[in-house]
């Protein structure tokens, strides 16, 4: 899969409470969740995010609550890919399960800046910062995880008889 | 191949003689849990499969605890969706208002988890049941849906950090201080993707309430699970609560650990995690005069009877400080009843605290104790992230029930040692 978009950048330990505050968890409507995405740390996010934008963040992205509403809100806001130094494990599973593209790449997470234009080719494990001209290599997903992604998420994998 | 406790449980549940760290497996589940926030998303996913029923009506449980008793119309709709689903599927262990408690206090109390089980829950604090010698871990709603449908979940077998506990806790120091100390030491991603295995001669001095609290916050260090070696204290607890026959998995003596961390329990002091991460742990020599507006004693971390006893001992005969709102939330109906019979509820009310029906409410800024901008709370809960208990400019300080109680009385963050003259 290939993704191209402008970067919106955050720091380390972005938790799922700030991705989507619990006061909005009385709904599971995707558009409604997206309308409050990131608001406790970045009120401007919902207004400036554009379809296809790429979110870049530091270590331990998505830590805290297991709420799947968090990757849902990010995906529904238009973000096409999240690049982070590392992901908290429940968020990592949830993103794969619902089909939000994510990739771990500490060097890219560190060097890419807010507003840069980035192109990511996950099949070949390459991230290019088109603004700075720098290129980064990423590790491929384990085959098992790749299968879930190829089948369009966990539920579809079950329907397709992968398990 | 030598294995850790967690690896042995996962091997046994995936039909393998042994597993090693990094291996991907499909494991059989003994219990699948959801609450009123995560289950509706799971139910929607489940329906996409076109299945008529859950894999085993006795192995799926839903607990209406986060926004229940219903805080608003939308919360009511979510609980209704769970209720209807559980009725349709004849789910045995559906806990609604009247029977429900905070899920991670309720399930062990009801004997629904035993040693050697594999449990997933669409709630990050599902790792609590590691205190019972089970592998249990938090997942999202789609994993929950898949678990409800198939009775299976995929896992990457984790490596582990071993915590070797020695010594014995000092007076007014509890499991909460231990886990805040540990997270302060290793950081909020210090155990990322890994197991935290607790063992050593110090275990014998830790009550089940201490262990449940420690395992509960393993997720705050990024861990996949926290797990305690099973001993007589565990077995007695499981027996008393009518749990199924325990299966004990002991780590092999030559099991490989990423790291072994020595914890001397007798050296641990009352500890507080400052905003906005649980790793910002400080002891009282590093805490100045921090005025507070609210105290919350409760949650899946610290809403157990032992926690209420510890708080009441300190609050008895005192009054809550002026302008400090103190909210006490027994985690289950049984705990509420026991606390009432022991006179603890009277102590709290006479002190000037309010006592609520079980709910997760304030811990996640849901309802019942939301903070205004600039306000500070000392809470026995598990997270102090930005906006966790209300306004994004409010602050949460995580502490033990004893420290929270001492702070309620003085109106500033206070060590129980100060109030009790230790």
Q: What would the pLDDT profile of A85-105 be if each residue is shown by its tens digit?
A: 999 999 999 999 998 999 999
Tell me which residue in A64, A144, A155 faces B49 most closely, judged by beta carbons. A155
Q: Do A68 and B152 touch (CB under 8 A)?
A: no
- Whether B60 and B89 have beta carbons less than 8 Å apart is answered as yes
Residue B382, pLDDT score: 98
Tokens of B297: 């004693």
Q: Rounded to a whole number, what is the distance in Å from the CA of B240 to chain A's nearest CA?
A: 31
What number is the average pLDDT over the span B72-96? 98
- Chain B residues whose CB is inside 8 A of the A89 CB are 192-193, 222, 224
The DSSP output letter for A61 is B
The DSSP output letter for A139 is P
Describe the strand order of the beta sheet including A54-57 as a list of residue ranges.
Answer: A101-104, A81-84, A54-57, A2-9, A117-121, A126-129, A135-137
Tell me which residue in A72, A90, A154 faces B124 most closely, judged by beta carbons. A90
Q: Rounded to a whole number, what is the distance in Å from the CA of A123 to chain B's nearest CA?
A: 21
Tens-digit pLDDT profile for residues B9-43: 999 999 999 999 999 999 999 999 999 999 999 99
Tokens of B399: 């502490």
Residue A95, pLDDT score: 96
**Residue B323 CB coordination number (10 Å):** 10
Q: Give dist(CA B38, CA B67) in Å, integer.
A: 11
- CB of A66 within 8 Å of a chain B CB? The answer is yes
Q: Is the pLDDT of residue A163 over 80?
A: no
Residue A123, pLDDT score: 86
Task: List the one residue out of B203, B239, B30, B34 whose CA is nearest residue B131.
Answer: B203
Q: Rounded to a whole number, what is the distance in Å from the CA of A98 to chain B's nearest CA?
A: 7
Q: Do B222 and A63 touch (CB under 8 A)?
A: yes
Tens-digit pLDDT profile for residues B341-386: 999 999 999 999 999 999 999 999 999 999 999 999 999 999 999 9
Q: Give dist(CA A86, CA A108) in Å, integer.
A: 11
- Chain B residues whose CB is inside 8 A of the A26 CB are 37, 67, 71-72, 74-75, 78
- Chain A residues whose CB is inside 8 A of the B193 CB are 89
- CB of A161 within 8 Å of a chain B CB? The answer is no
- CB of A142 within 8 Å of a chain B CB? The answer is yes
Range list of β-strands (E), B106-229: 118-121, 135-138, 152-156, 160-166, 195-199, 225-228
The mean predicted confidence, pLDDT, of chain B is 97
Tell me which residue in B37, B78, B365 faces A21 most closely, judged by beta carbons. B365
Describe the strand order of the beta sheet including B31-35 as a list of residue ranges.
Answer: B93-95, B60-63, B31-35, B118-121, B135-138
A–B: how many Cβ contacts below 8 A? 138
- CB of A36 within 8 Å of a chain B CB? The answer is no
Residue A157, pLDDT score: 86
The DSSP output letter for B251 is -
Query: Domains of chain B (ranges plus CATH)?
Result: 5-265 (3.30.499.10), 273-420 (3.30.499.10)
| Beta bridge partner(s), residue B136 | B119
- Chain A residues whose CB is inside 8 A of the B121 CB are 66
Q: Rounded to a whole number, what is the distance in Å from the CA of B78 to chain A's nearest CA?
A: 7
Cβ burial, residue A50 (10 Å; 0-12/13-18/19+): exposed
- Chain A residues whose CB is inside 8 A of the B82 CB are none
Tell me which residue in A40, A66, A144 faces B24 most closely, judged by beta carbons. A144
Q: Rounded to a whole number, what is the distance in Å from the CA of B131 to chain A's nearest CA?
A: 20
Tokens of B158: 């984790």
Q: Rounded to a whole number, what is the distance in Å from the CA of B192 to chain A's nearest CA?
A: 7
Q: What residue of A is the nearest CA neighbor of B219?
A: A64
Residue A30, pLDDT score: 96
Task: List the one residue out of B404, B418, B405 whose CA is nearest residue B312.
Answer: B405
Q: Do A154 and B143 touch (CB under 8 A)?
A: yes
- Whether B136 and B155 have beta carbons less than 8 Å apart is answered as no
Q: Give dist(CA B379, CA B381) in Å, integer.
A: 5
- Whether B196 and B160 have beta carbons less than 8 Å apart is answered as yes
Distance of CA A30 to CAs A57, A94, B349, Å?
22, 15, 42
Q: Rounded to a whole number, what is the distance in Å from the CA of B72 to chain A's nearest CA?
A: 8
Percent with pLDDT over 90 in chain A? 82
- Chain A residues 99-118 within an 8 A CB cutoff of chain B: none
Query: Domains of chain A (ranges plus CATH)?
Result: 2-159 (3.20.19.10)
Grouping H, G, I as helix, E, B as strand and the rest as coil, residue A127 is strand
Confidence category of residue B216, pLDDT binned at 50, 70, 90:
very high
- Chain B residues whose CB is inside 8 A of the A155 CB are 45, 48-49, 142, 145-146
What number is the average pLDDT over the span B214-226? 98
- CB of A21 within 8 Å of a chain B CB? The answer is yes
- CB of B352 within 8 Å of a chain A CB? The answer is no
Cα–Cα–Cα angle for B264, B269, B272, nearest 5°?
125
Q: Give dist(CA B27, CA A134) in Å, integer.
A: 42
Distance of CA B368 to CAs B196, B377, B389, Å?
33, 13, 10
Residue A16, pLDDT score: 98
Q: Do A155 and B45 touch (CB under 8 A)?
A: yes
Residue B74, pLDDT score: 97
Cβ burial, residue B317 (10 Å; 0-12/13-18/19+): exposed
Helix axes B208-216, B175-186, angle to 10 degrees: 30
Cβ burial, residue A161 (10 Å; 0-12/13-18/19+): exposed
Residue A147, pLDDT score: 85
Residue owning tokens 């996962």: B10
- Chain A residues whose CB is inside 8 A of the B141 CB are 68, 94
- CB of A40 within 8 Å of a chain B CB? The answer is yes
Q: Do B140 and A158 touch (CB under 8 A)?
A: no
- CB of B362 within 8 Å of a chain A CB? The answer is no
- Chain B residues 223-262 within an 8 A CB cutoff of chain A: 224
Tens-digit pLDDT profile for residues B47-63: 998 888 999 999 999 99
For A35, residues 6+ apart whose C-beta sits below 8 A from its C-beta are A46
Q: Give dist(CA A83, CA A29) in Å, integer.
A: 25
What number is the average pLDDT over the span B64-81? 98
The mean predicted confidence, pLDDT, of chain A is 94
- C-alpha B207 chain-centroid distance: 15
Residue A162, pLDDT score: 79
What number is the average pLDDT over the span B310-333? 98
Q: What residue of B is the nearest CA neighbor of A99?
A: B142
């Amino acid at each position: 899969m290939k993704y191209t978009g402008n970067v919106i950048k955050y720091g380390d330990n972005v938790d799922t409470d700030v991705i989507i505050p619990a006061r909005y968890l009385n709904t599971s409507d995707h558009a409604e969740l997206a309308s409050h995405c990131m608001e406790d740390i970045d009120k401007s996010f919902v207004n400036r995010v554009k379809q296809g934008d790429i979110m870049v963040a530091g270590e331990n992205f998505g830590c805290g609550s297991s709420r799947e509403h968090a990757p849902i809100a990010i995906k529904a806001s238009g973000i096409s890919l999240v690049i982070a130094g590392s992901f908290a494990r429940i968020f990592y599973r949830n993103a794969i399960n619902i089909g939000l593209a994510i990739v771990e790449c500490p060097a890219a997470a560190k060097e890419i800046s807010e507003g840069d234009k980035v192109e990511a080719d996950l099949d070949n494990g390459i991230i290019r910062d088109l603004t700075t001209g720098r290129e980064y290599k990423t590790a491929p997903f384990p085959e098992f995880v790749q299968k879930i992604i190829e089948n369009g998420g966990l539920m579809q994998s079950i329907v397709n008889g992968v398990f | 191949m030598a294995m850790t406790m967690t690896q042995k449980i996962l091997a046994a549940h995936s039909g393998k003689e042994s597993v090693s760290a990094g291996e991907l497996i499909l494991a059989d589940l003994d219990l699948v849990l959801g609450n009123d926030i995560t289950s509706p998303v799971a139910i929607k996913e489940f329906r996409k499969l076109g299945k008529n029923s859950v894999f085993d009506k006795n192995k799926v449980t839903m607990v209406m605890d986060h926004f229940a008793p219903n805080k608003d119309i939308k919360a009511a709709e979510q609980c209704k969706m769970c209720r209807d689903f559980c009725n349709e599927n004849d789910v045995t262990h559906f806990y609604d208002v009247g029977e429900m408690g905070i899920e991670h206090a309720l399930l062990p109390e009801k004997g629904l988890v035993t040693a050697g089980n594999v449990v997933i829950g669409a709630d990050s604090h599902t790792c609590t049941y590691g205190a019972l010698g089970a592998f249990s871990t938090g997942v999202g709603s789609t994993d929950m849906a898949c678990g409800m449908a198939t009775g299976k979940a995929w896992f990457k077998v984790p490596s582990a950090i071993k915590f070797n506990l020695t010594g014995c806790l000092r007076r007014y120091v509890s499991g909460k201080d231990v886990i805040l100390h540990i997270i302060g030491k290793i950081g909020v991603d210090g155990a990322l993707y890994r197991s935290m295995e607790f063992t050593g001669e110090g275990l014998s001095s830790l009550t089940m309430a201490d262990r449940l609290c420690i395992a509960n916050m393993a997720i705050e260090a990024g861990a996949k699970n926290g797990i305690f070696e099973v001993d007589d204290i565990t077995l007695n607890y499981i027996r008393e609560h009518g749990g199924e026959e325990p299966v004990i998995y002991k780590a092999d003596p030559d099991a490989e650990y990423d790291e072994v961390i020595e914890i001397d329990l007798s050296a641990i002091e009352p500890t507080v995690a400052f905003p906005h991460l649980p790793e910002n742990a400080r002891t009282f020599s590093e805490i100045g005069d921090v005025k507070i507006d609210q105290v919350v004693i409760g949650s899946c971390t610290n809403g157990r009877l032992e926690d209420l006893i510890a708080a009441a001992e300190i609050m008895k005969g005192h009054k809550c400080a002026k302008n400090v709102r103190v909210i006490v939330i027994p985690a289950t109906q049984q705990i509420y009843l026991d606390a009432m019979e022991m006179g603890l509820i009277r102590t709290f009310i006479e002190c000037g605290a309010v006592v609520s029906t079980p709910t997760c409410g304030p811990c996640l800024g849901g309802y019942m104790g939301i903070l205004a901008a600039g306000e500070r709370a000392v809470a026995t809960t598990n997270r102090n992230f930005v906006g966790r208990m209300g306004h994004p400019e409010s602050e949460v300080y995580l502490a033990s029930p004893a420290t929270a109680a001492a702070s309620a009385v003085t109106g500033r963050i206070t060590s129980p040692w100060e109030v009790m003259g230790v």
